[in-house]
Amino acid sequence: MPLHLLFKSLQRRKVVTALLLIQLAMTFALLLNSILLAQQTRHQLQQPTGLPLQQTLQVQLKPTTNALRQYPALGDLLMRQMAAVRAIPGVEAVAYSNQGPLLQGGNNGNVHDPDREELSKANGVPLYTVSADFFSVLQLPLLAGELPQSEIAVDGSAPSPVVITKSLADKVFDGTPAAGRTVNRGPVAAVVADFYGQRSAGTVNYNSIQVAPLYGVDWGYSLLLRTTPDSTGKVRQALPQVLQQVDSNIEIFYIRTLAEQQQRLYSNEFGLASLLSLLSALMLLVSMISSYSSAYFHTLKHQQEIGIKRALGASKSRIFNELLSENWLTTVLGAMAGVGCALLLNKLLSQVISIPALSWWLPLAACAILLLCVTVATWYPAAIATRVSPATATKTL
């Protein structure tokens, strides 16, 4: 059927067509952004972290008395806690840290080569103060140098040796060997494999680690422990009681696996993706019902016209295709209007969460889904139209 005749047919029911176009545009915008968010969240959750997610537990806690928050009482508390945790069956390694990995933000600063500060500076780098077993707990491969074996500073005043991740070493030293060099935080003792530090960092794999005592924990600290694969749940249940027995003057905020921590890191995106997916499914259902109703009542209202076409020689397939073509045209027009709505919704979402710009293929995918749903919805009314006999045209004459 010629395009101008399809437009003429749609103009005869302007109000119904306009309402259907608005509904299709809104459905298209929701569908497009829900696909985008779902794709992004899936990609983020699947990106490598360099960490044993399922076997590593993080305990976030804080002493409730001021004395225990400061060295040396804090140091004694940490040693007693780690000794008690190591004794739990199934624990393979334990370490303390001022903060854990896979965080939104935290304690960070800049790291650079003092001889070429402006060219080498990396901003927003997570700064970890840890015990020596930190690398064993997270199973971080050693790439260069030697890992520090003690939490005591070299001479009590000099900065502790620094361990940096490979991507940070490449940034600061421009790809040249880093072990034995010096950064503004201290001498570089070793380079380890990349791991996911903080999401808010410029690059998530930039990390700077110092094996040193914790001198103050006003905001709390973390115990990180690696378990055998079959004992993570049992160790998790035993931890609160074990830690309370060591010293009851502590507050345990949470105990999570790093896999759960990763899920929480992207909880906003996951929640919005789920919400938009649900809304998109509901809007698709409503659009299918509207398309069905529009096509069905159009068929009933224009039975005489359809009968005349049949009497003049129009085949059943032509009648069928005409009705489908009208709904396909309406869907395409709604999708075109929906692109603008989708861009507006994408801009609004970007003010709340991190969301990428729309890719060229996403509108095509959303339009294909919309066309499929509309086709399914209008199939039965189109089939009814083919059953109108030429005799129908003479009934009102």
For residues 135 and 166, membership in a common domain is answered with yes
* Percent of the chain predicted with pLDDT > 90: 46
Residue 389's pLDDT band, with cuts at 50, 70 and 90, is low
Cβ atoms within 10 A of the Cβ of 137, count? Answer: 26
Local confidence band at 213 (pLDDT 50, 70, 90 cut-offs): very high
What does the block give as tokens for 393?
């045209």
Taking the model in full, what pTM does it have? 0.74
Average pLDDT for 305-312:
65
Structure tokens at 11: 């103009």
CB 57 within 8 A of CB 236: yes
| pLDDT exceeds cutoff 80 at 197 | yes
The confidence score (pLDDT) of residue 191 equals 97
Domain co-membership, 291 together with 358: yes
Q: What is the arithmetic mean of pLDDT over 35-43?
A: 81
**pLDDT recorded at residue 333:** 84
Confirm whether 51 is domain-assigned: no
Last residue of a domain, one of 212, 232, 258: 258
38 domain-assigned: yes
Judge if 198 and 102 occupy the same domain.
yes
- The parent domain of residue 336 ranges over 3-46+267-394
Per DSSP, 60 falls in state E
> Which of these three, 223, 258, 293, is where a domain ends?
258
Q: Are residues 177 and 204 in the same domain?
A: yes
Task: Tell me: pLDDT of 277 over 70.
Answer: yes
Structure token digits, residue 328: 């396909």
Residue 139 and residue 107 in one domain: yes
The string of DSSP codes covering 359-392 is PTHHHHHHHHHHHHHHHHHHHHHHHHHHT--GGG
Q: Where are the beta strands (DSSP E) in the chain?
A: 56-63, 91-97, 108-111, 122-130, 142-145, 162-165, 182-183, 186-192, 208-211, 221-227, 250-257
User: What are the distances in angstroms from CA 261 to CA 48, 100, 257?
Assistant: 14, 10, 6
Q: Is the pLDDT of residue 345 over 90?
A: no
Average pLDDT over residues 291-316: 69
Q: Does the pLDDT value for residue 153 go beyond 60?
A: no
Beta-carbon neighbour count of residue 24 at 10 Å?
Answer: 26
Spatial CA neighbour of 5 closest among 373, 309, 392: 309
Highest mean pLDDT (candidates 129-138, 194-203, 292-301, 331-340): 129-138
